[in-house]
């Protein structure tokens, strides 16, 4: 895989990225292309690059980038709003279509975890997307938050959100908190995050509480039917305790054809390693799915 450092702009912010090219990509050749997108607190150097490493072997050009405010991308530190990340993906499509190695009529999206909802929202509204894959995601923010909090804790969350809304109006700023205060990790995911991600200096910075409000308002499932006729691939870990499988099952049922389902024989990210057979099985499914490009 060949790599080229790139940047593009989204809402005036300069976003940092990498263009990943197949080793056999020839000058003047136009290839189908895929943008793998990070989930919550994710960075391009983690899963987007891992997906690209495998997809370039199958002949795809890939673009990985960091959302505004993450790693080397410009933006207000701690500001994580789902609608703004969706906007970043839309602008990434425009940039990718301008690259000399890319056929702009054959662009697909992958959304990992929280970005699963991002990419289906983009695909439902933007016909430049010719295929979309949503992996280990959730598609209704309020429903998911209710599912991972007790009744009492969820109502405390709502009180905190209301207090922060008042704070933003009266002081001009949202309170910065631990990024997982309202996004609780299950034990298996926490172990992977602690071992693989936390040691990276760009990971785990405080996040403004406005994020939680943006999540409460997110409902990608209501536009699931608008994705059709764009091909849709949905995969979910059978034993995922971070994002319950019911989230993807409900979304998949609401979506129109053509669509494809894949059960992942794993949890949330316990299999997200190059040499893991479950990851390689997922990649084979994705390569076949994106052959429609």
Tell me phi and psi for residue 101, to 5 degrees: -85, 0
The mean per-residue pLDDT over the stretch 127-133 comes to: 98
The mean per-residue pLDDT over the stretch 211-230 comes to: 98
Confidence label for 203 from pLDDT (cuts 50, 70 and 90): confident
Cα–Cα nearest to 250, from 224, 212, 288: 224
Tell me phi and psi for residue 168, to 5 degrees: -65, -40
Tell me phi and psi for residue 138, to 5 degrees: -140, 155
pTM for this model (two decimals): 0.96
Tokens of 22: 């197949």
Residue 287 has pLDDT above 90, yes or no: yes
The mean per-residue pLDDT over the stretch 16-29 comes to: 95
DSSP category for residue 195: I
The pLDDT tens digits of the residues spanning 28-86 come to: 899 999 999 999 999 999 999 999 999 999 999 999 999 999 999 999 989 999 999 99
The mean per-residue pLDDT over the stretch 129-157 comes to: 97
Confidence label for 194 from pLDDT (cuts 50, 70 and 90): confident
Q: How far apart are CA 131 and CA 127, in angstroms?
A: 10
Cα–Cα nearest to 180, from 142, 156, 211, 147: 211
Query: Who has greater pLDDT, 53 or 199?
Result: 53
Residue 200 has pLDDT above 80, yes or no: no
Transcribe 22-89 into DSSP letters: -TTPPTT--EEEEEEE--TT--TTTHHHHHHHHHGGGT-EEEEEPPTTSTTS-S-TT---HHHHHHHH
Angle, CA of 198, 202 and 203, to the nearest 5°: 35
- Of the chain, the percentage scoring pLDDT greater than 70 comes to 100
The mean per-residue pLDDT over the stretch 268-278 comes to: 96
pLDDT for position 204: 77
Confidence label for 193 from pLDDT (cuts 50, 70 and 90): confident
The mean per-residue pLDDT over the stretch 11-25 comes to: 97
CB-CB contact of 186 with 238 (8 Å): no
CB-CB contact of 87 with 58 (8 Å): no
Confidence label for 196 from pLDDT (cuts 50, 70 and 90): confident
pLDDT for position 187: 87
Alpha-helix runs per DSSP H in the chain: 47-55, 82-97, 114-125, 141-147, 151-171, 187-192, 210-216, 245-254, 277-289
Tokens of 2: 């060949």
Count other C-beta atoms under 10 Å from residue 155's C-beta.
11
The pLDDT tens digits of the residues spanning 173-190 come to: 999 999 999 999 988 888
State which H helix or E strand residue 144 sits in.
Answer: helix 141-147
On average, the pLDDT of the chain sits at 96
């Amino acid at each position: 895989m060949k790599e080229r450092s790139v940047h593009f702009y989204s809402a005036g912010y300069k976003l940092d990225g990498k263009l990943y090219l197949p080793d056999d990509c020839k000058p003047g050749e136009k290839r189908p292309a895929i943008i793998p997108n990070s989930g919550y607190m994710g960075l391009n150097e983690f899963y987007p690059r891992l997906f690209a490493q495998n997809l370039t072997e199958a002949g795809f050009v890939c673009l990985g980038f960091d959302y505004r405010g993450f790693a080397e991308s410009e933006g207000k530190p701690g500001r994580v709003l789902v609608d703004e990340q969706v906007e970043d993906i839309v602008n990434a499509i425009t940039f990718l279509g301008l690259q000399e190695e890319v056929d702009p009529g054959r662009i697909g999206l992958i959304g990992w975890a929280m970005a699963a909802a991002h990419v289906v929202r983009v695909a439902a509204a933007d016909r430049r997307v010719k295929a979309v894959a949503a992996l280990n995601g959730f598609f209704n923010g309020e429903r998911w938050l209710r599912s991972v909090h007790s009744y009492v804790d969820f109502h405390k969350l709502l009180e905190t959100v209301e207090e922060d809304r008042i704070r933003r109006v009266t002081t001009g700023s949202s309170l910065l908190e631990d990024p997982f205060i309202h996004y609780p990790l299950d034990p298996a995911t926490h172990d992977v995050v602690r071992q693989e991600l936390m040691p990276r200096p760009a990971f785990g910075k405080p996040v403004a509480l406005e994020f939680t409000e943006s999540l409460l308002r997110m409902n990608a499932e209501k536009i699931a039917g608008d994705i059709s006729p764009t091909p849709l691939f949905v995969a979910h870990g059978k034993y995922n305790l971070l994002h319950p499988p019911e989230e993807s099952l409900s979304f998949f049922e609401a979506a129109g054809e053509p669509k494809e389902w894949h059960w992942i024989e794993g949890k949330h990210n316990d299999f997200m390693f190059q040499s893991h057979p479950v990851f390689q099985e997922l990649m084979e499914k994705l390569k076949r799915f994106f052959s429609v490009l």
